[in-house]
């Protein structure tokens, strides 16, 4: 039997995720920050940056309905805010603080560059070692499209200059992740198959027009 982990990003193509997957009926389901639509039986909500942790602490964002997997920056935030840590300790499934060295020249830069989708995908492959990891809603791999549902909750700089900078940083990391886990099959779901990343042989694309 094929084991699967599904990672839900927050880009436009997230809507390609089938209902069965949204309901957690076809393998483990990981989400990144706040999902763009209702999902059930979520294995974990992946959190990776200070901004989201601050929003959770002040109460402007509520993710209490999901178990959390907290990355490097969230772990630092928890350590510095013990009251918040104690309050939400029961939400934390685990800390996943590993940041690959290929994400940046220094540890701090690497942690900044390692975005939530990267972390969720790396966590899925390394911790769960499935046969397949399916990715939905990661439009920046394919297009100059940085729209994210999370921005409706926590606004980010989406000016052209910053978008180009982020694309130049984020896209190569995807290629490194896919190569690192060469025994895992990664399946990217998108509206077309013209990716802007050089893929290794363990990556395939399922587009609305076919494979």
Over residues 178-204, the pLDDT tens digits come to 999 999 999 999 999 999 888 999 999
Give 210's pLDDT tier (boundaries 50, 70, 90).
very low
Nearest to 13 by CA among 143, 137, 152: 137
CA 92 to mean position of chain CA atoms: 17
Give 165 or 26, the one with higher predicted confidence: 26
Report pLDDT for 160: 52
Q: Is 77 a residue whose pLDDT tops 80? A: yes
Total domains, the chain: 1
The answer to whether residues 182 and 200 touch, using CB atoms and an 8 Å cutoff, is yes
Please write the tens of the pLDDT for every residue from 128-146.
999 999 999 999 899 876 5
Q: Is 151 a residue whose pLDDT tops 80? A: no
C-alpha distances (whole Å) from 22 to each of 19, 127, 133 are 5, 21, 15
The span from the CA of 50 to the CA of 13, in Å, is 26
Report pLDDT for 198: 87
Q: Is 149 a residue whose pLDDT tops 90? A: no
The upper half-sphere exposure of residue 143, i.e. CA atoms within 13 Å in the direction of its Cβ, equals 13
Give 211's pLDDT tier (boundaries 50, 70, 90).
very low
The answer to whether residues 10 and 33 touch, using CB atoms and an 8 Å cutoff, is yes
Strands 132-136 and 185-190: parallel
- Range with the largest mean pLDDT of 24-28, 146-150, 154-158: 24-28
- Residue 28's H or E segment, with its range, is strand 28-32
Report pLDDT for 138: 94
The span from the CA of 36 to the CA of 139, in Å, is 14
Report pLDDT for 193: 92
C-alpha distances (whole Å) from 193 to each of 16, 61, 197, 199 are 14, 34, 11, 12
Share of the chain above pLDDT 70, in %: 88
pTM of the complete model: 0.91
136 burial level (CB within 10 Å; 0-12, 13-18, 19+):
buried
Q: Is 164 a residue whose pLDDT tops 70? A: no
Please write the tens of the pLDDT for every residue from 87-101.
999 999 999 999 999
* Residue-range definition of the domain harbouring residue 195: 4-207
The span from the CA of 196 to the CA of 211, in Å, is 16
Please write the tens of the pLDDT for every residue from 11-70.
999 999 999 999 999 999 999 999 999 999 999 999 999 999 999 999 999 999 999 999
**Which tokens go with 131?**
């046969």
**Which tokens go with 6?**
């599904």
Report pLDDT for 209: 55
**Which tokens go with 190?**
């998108």
């Amino acid at each position: 039997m094929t084991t699967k982990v599904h990672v839900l990003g927050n880009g436009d193509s997230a809507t390609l995720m089938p209902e069965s997957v949204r309901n957690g009926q076809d393998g483990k389901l990981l989400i990144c920050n706040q999902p763009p639509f209702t999902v059930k039986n979520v294995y974990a909500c992946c959190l990776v940056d200070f901004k989201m942790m601050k929003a959770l602490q002040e109460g402007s964002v509520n993710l209490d309905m999901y178990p959390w997997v907290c990355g490097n920056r969230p772990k630092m935030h928890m350590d510095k805010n013990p009251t918040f840590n104690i309050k939400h300790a029961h939400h934390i499934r685990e800390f996943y603080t590993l940041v690959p060295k290929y994400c940046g020249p220094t540890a701090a830069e690497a942690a900044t560059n390692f975005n939530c989708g990267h972390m969720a995908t790396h966590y899925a492959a390394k911790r769960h070692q499935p046969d397949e990891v399916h990715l939905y809603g990661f439009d920046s791999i394919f297009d100059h499209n940085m729209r994210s549902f999370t921005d409706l909750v926590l606004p980010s700089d989406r000016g052209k200059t910053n978008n180009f900078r982020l694309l130049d940083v984020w896209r190569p990391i995807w290629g490194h992740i896919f190569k690192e886990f060469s025994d895992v099959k990664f399946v990217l779901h998108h509206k077309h198959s013209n990716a802007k990343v050089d893929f290794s042989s363990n990556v395939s694309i399922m587009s609305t027009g076919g494979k």
